[in-house]
Amino acid sequence: MTESLIAFVVLIVLIFLRLPLAFAMGTVGFFGYYFLTGNWNASEAMAARRSVDTVQDYSLSVIPLFVLMGNLVSQAGLSDAVYRASHAFMGHWRGGQAIATIAACGGFSAICGSSLATAATMGRVAMPQMRRYGYSDSLAAASIAAGGTLGILIPPSVMLVIYGILTETSIRDLFAAGLLPGLLGILLYMAAVRWSVWRNPQDASARAEPLPWGERLRALGKVGDTLVLFVLVIGGMYLGVFTPTEAAGIGAMGAFLIALLRRRLTLRILMSVLMDTARTTTKLFAVVLSALIFSNFINRAGLPDDLLSFVNGLDLSPLGVLLVILGIYIVLGCMFESMSMILLTVPVFFPVVAGLGLDLVWFGILVVIVTEISLITPPVGMNVFVLRGVLPDVSTGTIFRGIVPFIAADFVRVALVLLFPALTLWLPQIFY
């Protein structure tokens, strides 16, 4: 275990020295493997074998396809349509603009799959509308930042794909397991908005006029094509009609047709979308590959077995061990962004969880939820800083002050999923 702990210290130092995560993990994993074996050829062979196996892994093709799907849907102007539909049904409620923003974030992230993209896009769409109705910057910006976190849980989720690859867990099961907790997150965030407005009525001083049902249905009709695409992709996976990779391909083609029919695509824009997809995919693949090399090193060093022995020696129940692990994630969330947390910790913790006989799908959903919390907690809070870039006139402190009720809602969700595993495991059992 000593070698592994030294490696983690070196890795954290390299990260804080601003070395890119992919290079930091790959470097520590490669040289750590050499230190254990004393053989350059063994270390080079491990890295080469892992690189070839990863590149040839068919399941990884789901990542660029879902990234392309999200980019095309964003280009199609879905965010505006989803927000208008949410506003049409909820805008006249007390705190309705913020509640509509949460609903729109959930709907947009279900197709986009990226928390940061959801926060940035909805910041431009929803913030002017909430200011128009007298919402405080604190509540308005916090609802956007929190709503953006839904993107890494509601399927299709790139984060769940990466977790599935790291743990060799069924991506289809993970997508099914993430749906109900994702919907629960939307409801709890809406409750957080209502609580904030009840506590400080001046934060939402005006309401919109209720719209006639005809206008509501017209607004809903403008997102009908995207809703059909989502049902086709996710429903096809849940029912076993498509594999995740096939569903991603159908989703990417459907998003392309939607953007084309909405006349939002030119040759220049299409090339830009494809280049952005290639850049994002390359970054993700580099990070995943380096994480797998690092995982090979810590497995060779025996860290998972040592941790399992240590945990067994503490005489804790499996639930007690799980609480300790989740506590570690919450602490790490104050220092690392979500992708770093997943890639650094999952190779260490999942063998321990598996050794205790806990369900890896259930554990994966819990990990993603607590990782969501890291997106809005200080001092890192990536969603907050992305939103700060989109809204330069809103201070970081203002956003963090408004985010507290949403963090509390996330802790409630973690507790519910922890106490009632059926919230995550029911759908996988029903469909498969």
Whether 305 is in a domain gets the answer: yes
Q: Is the pLDDT of residue 409 over 90?
A: yes
Quick: pLDDT tens for 191-217: 999 898 888 888 776 666 777 878 878
Residue 106, burial from CB neighbour count under 10 angstroms (0-12, 13-18, 19+): buried
| Percent of the chain residues topping a pLDDT of 90 | 9
pLDDT at 362: 93
pLDDT at 335: 67
Whether 54 is in a domain gets the answer: no
pLDDT at 113: 66
CB atoms within 10 A of CB 432: 12
For the chain, how many structural domains are there in total?
1
Highest mean pLDDT among 102-116, 291-305, 350-364: 350-364
Contact call for residues 360 and 168 (beta carbons, < 8 A): no
Whether 170 is in a domain gets the answer: yes
The residue range of the domain holding 380 is 60-431
Whether 377 is in a domain gets the answer: yes
What are phi and psi for residue 93, nearest 5 degrees?
A: -75, 165
Quick: pLDDT tens for 7-66: 878 877 887 787 777 788 888 888 888 888 888 888 888 888 888 877 777 777 788 888
Whether 26 is in a domain gets the answer: no
Quick: pLDDT tens for 372-401: 888 888 766 778 877 877 788 888 888 888
**Rounded-to-integer distance, Cα 307 and Cα 349, Å:** 8
Q: Is the pLDDT of residue 336 over 80?
A: no
**Distances from the Cα of 280 to the Cα of 110, 162, 182, 284, 303, angstroms:** 18, 14, 24, 6, 31
pLDDT at 188: 94
Quick: pLDDT tens for 266-278: 888 888 888 888 8
**Rounded-to-integer distance, Cα 192 and Cα 194, Å:** 5
Whether 98 is in a domain gets the answer: yes
The mean of the pLDDT values for the chain is 82
- What mean pLDDT comes out for the span 402-429? 91
Amino acid at the residue 35: F
Best CA proximity match to 376, nearest among 367, 365, 385: 385
- What mean pLDDT comes out for the span 291-315? 75
pLDDT at 412: 94
- pTM here is 0.82
What are phi and psi for residue 29, nearest 5 degrees?
A: -65, -45
Q: Name the 3-class secondary structure at 282.
A: helix
Question: What confidence category does residue 236 fall into, taking pLDDT thresholds of 50, 70 and 90?
Answer: confident
Whether 6 is in a domain gets the answer: no
Whether 108 is in a domain gets the answer: yes
